[in-house]
Structure 1
Amino acid sequence: MKALEGPLWRALLVFRIAALGYAAVLMIGNFQHYHWPLGGWLVLSVMSAWTVVSSLAYARPERRGWPLLTADLAVTAGCLLATRWIVQPDGLGVGAPTLPMAWVASPVVAWAISGGRRRGAIAALLMSGADVIVRAGFSQATVNGPVLMLLAGVGIGHIARLAIDAEARLQRATELEAATRERERLARGIHDSVLQVLALLQRRGAELGGEAAELGRLAGEQEATLRALVSSSGPAPAAMRRRPAPPASQSSGRRSFRLPASLSRSPSTSSSAARAASPARPVASRGISSRGASSSRGPGSRGAAASTDPQPDLVDLRTLLDGHAAAGVSVAAPATEVLLPAPVAAEVAAAVAAAVDNVRLHAGPGAKAWLLIEELDDTVTVTIRDNGPGIPDGRLTEAEHAGRLGLAQSIRGRIRDLGGTTTITSSPTTGTEIELHVPR
């Protein structure tokens, strides 16, 4: 909260020193005409000493309280009032400069920075009262000083309060953004694991019927509730507090649910799990290799690259994406390693896995997919393209509102957090193409 106040206090220090120098120049030029010249030099000495003391005191935030503010105002007002006995009274009544001159605005500025418009206006009125006493009343020639002090107190106080409020809002926005990013990260993990399992249970339960259908229905309810929870920032929906599905071994006056053997031996809950189970295969040594479900490469195809291990914190992105070829996706990659930091490569691989899952779920049973890895000096681009029916207009927004986080979080959110961009192109005739651009 003090980061923006610091420059204001430093600006006050500069103003106080500059105003002191201006007052000294005027005194050097006019002290011969003073009623008491020695008094003028004494006041200038007090002003110089207080400039040093107040500047050192205001430099410590814990000292910027009422004792220092009051002392600052009192010392400055005393130097201003002393002008009446030092400078010729006749000259003061017609606008002759006082001893402190612009230096009298220093406590006004200090009060404005510390308390805003109202406190600055109060200090300006008090100093204006002292100026009226020195000049023995208001006149057209003497009103300028009080008016300028009042404008300075109100204006600087307003600016100081705006700066402090802006910093507070920025702090709250930063905290909210951090919380939102963490929530999105958790939502991506839930989408890629728990929600996929619940969706599988719902589908398989409906296919098997009987007790499995009831289990699938409960899984579907929990999936919908969990999607609503991770896609909103409010409290947990009331459905989250309902009684959970009874475990397989629990009996409560009704027949217990048991996971059918066909369901327990079902295929992997997602293509991500299938890819994790399949071993990574080496990459071709030259050119761009197109690999479908039946592609294979020998262990010696890497050539010299096999004898040089990459840096410990770098991962070849090709090895993480190569498993998609085993699931019927044509993969094309450079012959050389595409090295990325391990956390970055893992996030890119997870985003690609979510995109490939969407192809299988939404592009239709006969759809094909192609995966292309491209490498530039400062960017790695992964393109996932299919020949499905495309994405209808407005469907992405509807899916995000319904808690379907595949594109919104699992793909776009991951790439955005890496500092990259996601481009989605879709049409009914050419299918959907997703480009993931990640900086290196």
Structure 2
Amino acid sequence: MPVREDREDHHEDREGRDEDAAVTGAALDAALWRSVAVYRALALVYAAVVITKNSGGYAHPLGAWAVLAVLAVWTGVATLAYRDPARRGWPLLAADLAVAFGCVLATAWVETAHHIAVGRPTLPVSWVAASVLAWAVAGGRRLGVTAALVLGVANLLVHAVAGTSGGMGNTTLNGIVLLFLAGLVVGQVVRLAREAEARLARAVEMEAATRERERLARRIHDSVLQVLAMVQRRGGEAGGEAAELGRLAGEQEAALRAAGGAGPPASGMARAARAHGAALAPGTAAGRDTDLRPLLTGQASTSVTVSTPATPVTLPEHAAGELAAAIAEVMDNVRRHCGDGARAWVLLEDDPAAVTVSVRDEGPGMPPGRLDDAAASGRLGVAQSIRGRVRDLGGTVAIVSAPGEGTEIEMTVPR
């Protein structure tokens, strides 16, 4: 049942990560479309200012106001339509580009031939770039450049209809070039942003998968491997067919250690201390606090001194159990490497920001790089059962050791 529950939890976690990635992608798209909407609204204000300023010189002033009305209405319609992801398809994009094309082309009827020849801007001015931006956001630089090409043709047609194609000034040419640059640059930026978002989502998923693997490895370290080690030992003592069973159990134990990165078997005392934390799934009973002191005083013996404050040191139940399990692993390492009678001291410190537990022993100490070598060879008891547990609680582990000077491990868990 625990394996099945782990698989179900992992499946739920993966579904949750997929949902988070979808939400993140939707948030990016929403931000991009909001930017286009803001640009469209500001460009509408600018177009209104230009039309108002030049209204006295138009050949058909009423036509200019009609074009401004079309710009205003379509600005509202497009802003609302692009908010709905289901509507961001070809019909809306085509309509957006058609409105921009028609408003640009209307300049040939509203403006005088002289003003067109001298380079007065088209009626929508920079408003038409909103369509280019919309196409670039929807399909990247290719669609952005395509929309710019269509509107560039509209600018050329204005001169052709007005009979001034031979006198096209730098203003028109600059406007066409800016449209192409907008479609190209914005489309490229959008593509890079979406690729970066996808890479970030994959990195987050890989990190979550790594944490899940480490959590499962710790559970293997605390349960399955202990049973296999016991079967191997008892089978060797019993002899006969039981010895063969013990040998097979030993092989499976070695295979699981290689796959899960678990360390050597823990003692009965360590298993008992870890049982309190292993019985709780991460995040459960988060609102109920537990006094950490009784979980540590169980480690006291004639050779182990445990010092705690006089007042309760409370943590959420899961955090207290995991921290106690990490300390039990530390004490198990002390007994394994320093002997059963080795002197050790456990100190619990409490402050408003964090809880700190330090364990110091009089053992032989460790040479530099010892833990890295152990991790490289697959012995990850310290890396996962101690550091992994504290890291998952948001805390830190500091290890100070030198040959002949013992070892001190300090674990700090924030509140």
TM-score (structure 1 length as normaliser): 0.79
Partner of 2:149: 125
Q: Which residue of 1 aligns with 2:225?
A: 195
> What is aligned with 2:8?
none
1:91 Cα deviation from its structure 2 partner? 2.1
Aligned to 2:311: 336
Match of 2:4 in 1: none
In structure 2, the partner of 1:229 is: 259
Q: Which among 358, 363, 375 is matched to residue 400 of structure 1?
A: 375
Instruction: Give the superposition deviation at 1:225.
Output: 0.8
**Structure 1 pair 220/397, CA: closer, same or farther in 2 (3 Å)?**
farther
Task: Give the superposition deviation at 1:326.
Answer: 3.8
For 1:415, the equivalent position in structure 2 comes to: 390
Contact 2:214 2:384 in 1 (8 A): yes
Write out aligned runs for 1:37-436 (5 A). 37-136=61-160, 137=165, 139-202=169-232, 214-231=244-261, 269-273=267-271, 313-326=288-301, 328-436=303-411
Q: Which runs of 5+ in 1 are unaligned?
A: 233-267, 278-310
* CA 1:204–1:401: 2 relative to 1, 3 Å: farther
Residues of 1 paired with 2:231 and 2:155: CA distance? Answer: 84
Q: How far apart, in 1, do the equivalents of 2:386 and 2:372 lie? A: 14
Change (3 A) 1:390 1:198: farther
Q: Distance in 2 between matches of 1:359 and 1:216?
A: 27
Q: Single out whichever of 87-96 and 331-340 deviates more from structure 2.
A: 87-96
**How far 1:429 moved relative to its partner?**
2.1
CA contact (8 A) 1:197 1:269 kept: no
Give CA deviations for 1:329-370 in whole Å, capped at 9, x if unaligned. Answer: 211111111111111100010000111111111234553221
The residue type paired with residue 298 of structure 2 is G
Residue deviations 1:37-70 (CA, integer Å, cap 9, x gap): 1111111111111111111111111101000000
Secondary structure of the 2:27 match is coil
The 2-side partners of 1:201 and 1:336 are apart by: 43
User: What value does the CA root-mean-square deviation take over the aligned residues?
Assistant: 2.4
C-alpha contact (below 8 Å) 1:196/1:270 kept by paired residues: no
Are residues 170 and 9 of structure 1, via their aligned partners in 2, closer, same or farther at CA, if it must alter by over 3 Å? same
Output the amino acid matched with 2:385: S
**Secondary structure of residue in 2 paired with 1:3:** helix
Give the aligned partner of residue 302 of structure 1.
Answer: none
2:140 and 2:125 map into 1 onto residues whose CA distance is 24
Question: SS of the counterpart of 1:423?
Answer: strand
Q: What is the Cα deviation at residue 146 of structure 1?
A: 0.8
What's the CA shift for 1:11? 1.3
Which secondary structure state, in structure 1, belongs to the residue aligned with residue 312 of structure 2? Answer: coil
Structure 1 pair 65/132, CA: closer, same or farther in 2 (3 Å)?
same
Using a 3 Å threshold, how does the CA distance of structure 1 residues 361 and 200 change in structure 2: closer, same or farther?
Answer: farther
Distance 1:275 1:46 in 2: 74
Closer, same or farther: CA 275–11 of 1 in aligned 2, 3 Å: closer
Tell me the alpha carbon deviations over residues 257-315 of structure 1, each in whole angstroms, 9 at most, x when there is no partner.
Answer: xxxxxxxxxxx9532246689xxxxxxxxxxxxxxxxxxxxxxxxxxxxxxxxx98211
Q: Which shifted more, 82-91 or 343-352?
A: 82-91
In the TM superposition, residue 150 of structure 1 has moved relative to its aligned partner by 0.8
CA 1:219–1:362 in structure 2 vs 1: closer, same or farther (change >3 Å)? Answer: farther
Change (3 A) 1:24 1:321: same
* Counterparts in 2 of 1:161 and 1:276: CA distance versus 1, 3 Å: closer
Aligned length: 372
Q: Deviations over 1:398-427 (max 9, x none)?
A: 322333221111110111111110001111
Write the deviation string for residues 92-151 of structure 1: whole angstroms up to 9, x where unpaired.
233211100001101100001111111111111111111122134454342110111111
In structure 2, distance between residues paired with 1:418 and 1:273: 20
TM-score normalised to the size of structure 2?
0.83
In 2 relative to 1, CA 275–188 (structure 1 residues): closer, same or farther, beyond 3 Å?
Answer: closer
How many angstroms apart in 2 are the aligned matches of 1:228 and 1:184?
A: 13
Does structure 2 retain, via aligned residues, the 8 Å contact 1:270–1:357?
no
Deviation at 1:327?
7.3
Q: Residue 261 of structure 1 aligns with which residue? A: none
1:37–1:86 CA contact under 8 A, matched in 2: yes
Distance 1:207 1:15 in 2: 81
Counterpart-to-counterpart distance in 1, 2:221 and 2:70: 71
How far apart are 1:393 and its partner, in Å? 2.6
The question of whether the paired residues in 1 share the 8 Å contact of 2:273 and 2:324 is answered with no
Query: Are residues 1:23 and 2:21 paired?
Result: no
User: Residue 299 of structure 1 aligns with which residue?
Assistant: none
* Percent identity between the two aligned chains: 57
Q: Which amino acid aligns with 1:226?
A: L
Rg (Cα) greater in structure = 1
